[in-house]
Amino acid sequence: MPQAHDLLSRRPEWRALAEHQASMQQVHMRDLFHQDPDRFRRFFAEAAGISLDYSKNLVTTDTMARLMALARACQLPDRIEAMFRGEHINASEDRPALHVALRNMGSEPITVAGEDIMPEVRGTLARMEEFVWRVRSTQWRGFTNKPFTDVVSIGIGGSFLGPKLVSASLKPYWHGRLNCHYVANIDGSHITEVLRHINPETTLFLIQSKSFKTQETLENTKVAREWFLHNGGNEELISKHFVAVTANTREAIDFGITEENIFPMWDWVGGRYSLWSAIGLPTALTIGMENFRALLSGAHAMDQHFRTAPLEDNLPVILALLGIWYGNFWQADAHAILPYDHYLRGLPAHLQQLDMESNGKCVTQAGEPVDYQTGPIIWGGAGANGQHAYHQLLHQGTKLSPADFIIPLHTHNPVANHHAILFANCLSQTQALMQGKTEAEARAELEAQGLPPEEVARLAPHKVIPGNKPSNTLLFERGTPRTVGALIALYEHKTFAQGVIWDVDSFDQWGVELGKQLGKDILDRLLSRDALPGANDSSTDGLIELFRSRHHN
């Protein structure tokens, strides 16, 4: 059990940051830039093809040194090593978190329970390679001998968001013939809309579920199966059209998936960290195995950086510490992810699961309640669209939400001056957030328009923009498989590093279980023709009865 003095908020490094924050309250970033012409260079880092400009943050070199001291006091370097060595860093589930093994390009063994897992990881990649080749080269065809045209991935959470993000991010690398669809929601409209547009003869279903117990995925798979059987298929043909990825082979076989069509998953990979495993099959089918391996190699390059770079130059560590700075010392509850890249528009949704499911925790690894803030609310959307929607709150609202602006230097689609305009939009936002507009500037602008003094006085307060709002700018050359891999791995490690400092288990998700448990009883009551005794609160009981009144006479 940790001693009281071990608790994060009692550490001297924590108190040193709190004191420092008090001295930073009157500091404006505009002045920091004026005082130090080298600020851009000073707060700039690069790794694995990703560059990070973090100069537009409310930090000085002293701030960064104090944050690094906190990371060291929390033994971050040791915990990073512990993850790579396969120690049971997921304490509440007593297992390792070894997504890094899935993209390990090195030759060293990685052991789980004394056994090297690398041969199985490589063997699975080889199986994926063969499968992808057979589908793409039309060796594996549908039941009427036509090549596949559509892949439908059925899965939810980590078995959905990660692969969907990567598929969309790498659209320029898609195979011309193969279209890829994702079905996640138990709202029947989702699968209905997908099935409406595809042909059973040329559709391959990938059932993606680590546990093979997830209600949404199993129910949607039943619908897909019935649809297949009623549209020309039969039981014998299922094996040509249904493939599964799961750690629960028994359950998948019982469900009717042919054993040879099942790709493995392992309990040492968390769902939200699984896109690098066979859960990435829909992506691999559309972008090809060579590109999928490039994705893994980009992630591996970031892994190596995270493991070996000094904390001061370590991109995931810098991002993690900046998040802690704002969340714990400036009362920021949220963090925005703003990709200025149409293909990366799914990044906020993926990072919502990655970050919020990992660090949305209120007890320490030892089960003690925390007395400090943990994971932030992750939100965001595609730039420049957000500028015409929620950026107003970033500029003049009362909430603080630091933001990551993410943009490639080159576009896959040069159209007129679009990319330069996009880039200008991105930079103008971070600049406006940082410098704002003073009252004197606002007044001068209004006076230059020839407005009378009373109008200038009336309008000026509305035109003042406080500025001093922090942002990071992340850049890469182009959205290639390698850079997308490195970018996602960067955020995975940022999340883990924050979890280490907050001393929470970033790899469990017990919070999602209660809703699942309660849902079973509620479903029974909704479906029952007879009113079952209500053991719930009057709100839930009342809503159940409202539903039943519409569905049972």
Question: Which among 273, 276, 327 is positioned nearest to 481, based on CA atoms?
Answer: 276
- DSSP state letters, 65-83: HHHHHHHHHTTHHHHHHHH
Closer to ligand F6P by Cβ: residue 67 or 165: 165
Q: Of these residues, 56, 210, 241, 357, which one is catalytic?
A: 357
Residue 518 makes contact with ligand F6P by CB under 6 A: no
In terms of CB distance, is 214 or 495 closer to ligand F6P? 214
Q: CA-to-CA distance for 268 and 113, rounded, in angstroms?
A: 11
Phi/psi zone of residue 47: left (φ > 0), alpha (ψ -120 to 50 degrees), beta? Answer: beta
Cα separation, 90 vs 110, whole angstroms: 17
Q: Which residues contact 546 (CB under 8 A, 6 or more apart)?
A: none
Verify whether residue 312 is a known catalytic residue. Answer: no
Strand pairing partners for 437? Answer: 465
Question: Considering the complex, what minimum distance in angstroms separates the CB of residue 511 from ligand F6P?
Answer: 9
Q: Binding mask 412-451 vs ligand F6P (x if CB under 6 A, - otherwise)?
A: ----------------------------------------
Please list every residue from 164 through 203 that binds ligand F6P, using CB under 6 A. none
**Nearest to ligand F6P of 262, 432 (CB atom):** 262
CA 352 – CA 355 distance, rounded (Å): 5
Q: Does 385 bind ligand F6P (CB under 6 A)?
A: no
90 sits near ligand F6P (criterion: CB under 6 A)? no
**Which range, of 116-124, 150-158, 377-385, 388-396, touches ligand F6P by CB under 6 A?**
150-158
- In 209-285, where do the E strands start and end? 242-246, 262-264
Contacts of 304 (CB under 8 A, 6+ apart): 48
The residues near 7 (Cβ < 8 Å, ≥ 6 apart) are 364, 368, 371
Active site residue 447: no
Q: Is 419 designated active site?
A: no
Distance CA 439, CA 463 (A): 8
x/- track of binding to ligand F6P for residues 339-358 (CB under 6 A) = ------------------x-
Of the pair 225, 272, the CB lying nearest ligand F6P is at: 272
In DSSP terms, 207 is beta-bridged to 154, 244
Applying CB under 6 A, does 99 fall inside the site for ligand F6P?
A: no
Q: Does 217 bind ligand F6P (CB under 6 A)?
A: yes
The reply on whether position 211 binds ligand F6P by CB under 6 A is: yes
Nearer to ligand F6P, 210 or 361 (CB): 210
Binding of ligand F6P at residue 163 (CB under 6 A)?
no
Please pick, from the candidates 158, 316, 327, 402, the single residue that binds ligand F6P as defined by CB under 6 A: 158
30 neighbors 449 (Cβ within 8 angstroms): no
Tokens of 441: 């500037």
Binder of ligand F6P out of 17, 67, 76, 156 (CB under 6 A):
156
Q: Which is nearer to ligand F6P, 217 or 483 (CB)?
A: 217
* Chosen residue from 57, 202, 291, 509 binding ligand F6P by CB under 6 A: 509
Smaller CB separation from ligand F6P, 211 or 249: 211
Which residues lie closer than 8 Å to 67 by C-beta, 6 or more apart? 17, 59, 321, 322, 324, 325
272 near ligand F6P (CB under 6 A): yes
Label each residue of 85-141 as H, E or C.
Answer: CCCCCEHHHCECCCHHHHCCCCCCCCEECCEECHHHHHHHHHHHHHHHHHHHCCCCE
Q: Residue 18 or 512: which CB sits closer to ligand F6P?
A: 512
Q: Whole-number minimum distance, CB 256 to ligand F6P, in Å?
A: 17
Minimum separation from the CB atom of position 211 to ligand F6P (A): 3
Q: Which SS3 state, helix, strand or coil, does residue 472 take?
A: strand
DSSP class of residue 356 equals: I
Residue 553 to residue 551: CA distance in whole angstroms: 7
Q: How far is the CB of 214 from ligand F6P (least distance, A)?
A: 3
| Binding of ligand F6P by 271 (CB under 6 A) | yes
Strands 377-380 and 334-339 come out as parallel
Pick the catalytic residue: 5, 197, 230, 388?
Answer: 388
- Number of residues in contact with ligand F6P under rule CB under 6 A: 14
Q: Name the active-site residue from 146, 222, 410, 516.
A: 516
Q: Please say which residue, 158 or 436, places its beta carbon nearer to ligand F6P.
A: 158
Residues 60, 203, 214, 277: which binds ligand F6P (CB under 6 A)? 214
Q: Work out the burial of residue 465: count CB atoms within 10 Å of its CB; fewer than 13 is exposed, 13-18 middle, 19 or more buried.
A: middle
Instruction: Give CA–CA dist 303/24, Å, rounded.
Output: 33
Report if residue 157 touches ligand F6P, rule: CB under 6 A.
Answer: yes
- Binding to ligand F6P by residue 210, rule CB under 6 A? yes
Nearer to ligand F6P, 157 or 383 (CB): 157
Least Å distance between CB 99 and ligand F6P? Answer: 12
Cβ neighbours around 13 below 10 Å, total: 16
Q: How far is CA 439 from the centre of its chain?
A: 39
Q: Minimum distance from CB of 158 to ligand F6P (Å)?
A: 3
Among 209, 364, 429, 472, binds ligand F6P (CB under 6 A): 209
Which spans of this chain sit near ligand F6P (rule: CB under 6 A)? 156-159, 209-211, 214, 217, 271-272, 357, 509, 512
The residues assigned a catalytic role are: 357, 388, 516
